[in-house]
A and B are shown apart, each in its own frame.
Chain A
């Protein structure tokens, strides 16, 4: 079975500062992918970044980077230079090699950026 755990229900960060959102996972799949999505109040899930389990380097996409520690089964999202528009729910998700048809999501972290 696969499971995603996000232990931070809410996080606050000041504008222009960096913030780390935690994600741990559990899977028996030999190969898997990890995703982060942003869900603003409008409701849609916006893809941010992807990390493959066999990727040698941590993924980066603009201000987003993924701190992937395979041995610890963690895939934390780092947002640098936070902006007010970053305020939203953030979900970590995974897909395993044995069932690529579905994403398994965590319960999310609400990030609030203040001026």
Chain B
């Protein structure tokens, strides 16, 4: 598609519920990133895929967070047993795969998750 598409745009989950957030990157982009943006903060790195391979998941805050990209395009970020501190905007970004310093990402509009 023309841009990075994320769904749902908003998600309200009861504490303890599992959620799945979807990211549809720009067609042909091999690199895909997930970031978490808490209220009033800058985005923080969660995980990175190169095609279907998850090359870095060091930013995932706990083992309740799981991300996959099975066919190297669409990605899903899953959060199990949600807790209130998981409330944040989850941003997805994609890039062409150039890992140079100047490589810029295209971000989606994010999914705002509220855990009540």
Query: Are B101 and A102 in contact (CB-based, < 8 A)?
Result: no
- Chain B residue at minimal CB-CB distance from A53: B101
Do most interface residues of chain B lie in helix, strand or loop, or is the interface mixed?
loop
Query: Are A44 and B48 in contact (CB-based, < 8 A)?
Result: no
For window 49-68 of B, CB contacts with A under 8 Å fall at: 55-56, 59
Selected contact of A45 from candidates B41, B100, B107, CB within 8 Å: B107
- Chain A residue at minimal CB-CB distance from B106: A47
Query: Are B42 and A33 in contact (CB-based, < 8 A)?
Result: no
Given known A4-B42, A91-B42, A105-B42, contact A43–B104 (CB-CB < 8 A): no
Given known A105-B42, A105-B44, contact A43–B89 (CB-CB < 8 A): yes
Given known A100-B99, A100-B100, A101-B99, contact A47–B105 (CB-CB < 8 A): yes
Total A-B contacts with CB atoms under 8 angstroms apart:
66
**How many residues of chain B have a CB within 8 Å of chain A?**
29
* A-side contacts of B55, CB under 8 Å: 101
For window 39-87 of B, CB contacts with A under 8 Å fall at: 40-45, 48, 55-56, 59
Q: Smallest CB–CB gap between B9 and chain A, Å?
A: 8
Q: Smallest CB–CB gap between A26 and chain B, Å?
A: 15
Q: How far is the CA of A95 from the CA of B93 in the complex (A)?
A: 15
Q: How far is the CA of A47 from the CA of B41 in the complex (A)?
A: 18
Query: Are A44 and B102 in contact (CB-based, < 8 A)?
Result: no
Selected contact of B102 from candidates A46, A52, A106, CB within 8 Å: A52
